[in-house]
Amino acid sequence: MDKNNKQVLLHIYAHCLDIEAFIMRFGNTIEDFKKDRAFYNSMCMSLMQISELSRTLTDDFIEATKDKIQWRAVKGLRNWIAHEYMDLDMNIIWETATVDIPVLKSLCKETVAIEE
């Protein structure tokens, strides 16, 4: 594996763990998420970081894993959050964090052979 890809995936994995920790800390329901601005801001920041990091993965890696992860959507997440912040659909942020992030975390873990 490309050394840069490995480092990027380790950082993405760390942000996935942060998102899991936020959910454990603040609450595991969308209602908890919607009523807590700190929860919302924490999730958005980690999602933006994941998006930024994904832009540095090699084209070969993106191509090889495109059936598992929608990289175009991941890459676009940062701009969507940053530029549409006041009009974001909290349901989409929640779904991304609770449905898509576990899949991404799993891919990172398998690809880099992370042991927990």
Mean pLDDT (whole number) for 61-84: 94
User: Taking the complete model, does pTM exceed 0.85, yes or no?
Assistant: yes
Identify the pLDDT of residue 84.
Answer: 82
In a domain, 25, yes or no: yes
Identify the pLDDT of residue 116.
Answer: 61
Contact 43, 22 (CB under 8 A): yes
In a domain, 50, yes or no: yes
DSSP code at position 29: S
Report whether pLDDT(87) > 90.
Answer: no
The domain total for the chain is 1
Arithmetic mean of pLDDT over the chain: 94
* CA 10/CA 13 separation, integer angstroms: 5
Sorting pLDDT into bands at 50, 70 and 90, what band is 86?
confident
In a domain, 39, yes or no: yes
In a domain, 80, yes or no: yes
Residue range of the domain that includes 104: 3-110
Identify the pLDDT of residue 35.
Answer: 96
In the numeric block, the tokens 């380790």 are attached to 10
Report whether pLDDT(36) > 90.
Answer: yes
Report whether pLDDT(50) > 90.
Answer: yes
* CA 58/CA 15 separation, integer angstroms: 19
In a domain, 115, yes or no: no
In a domain, 97, yes or no: yes
In a domain, 116, yes or no: no
For 55-71, what is each residue's pLDDT tens digit?
999 999 999 999 999 99
In a domain, 26, yes or no: yes
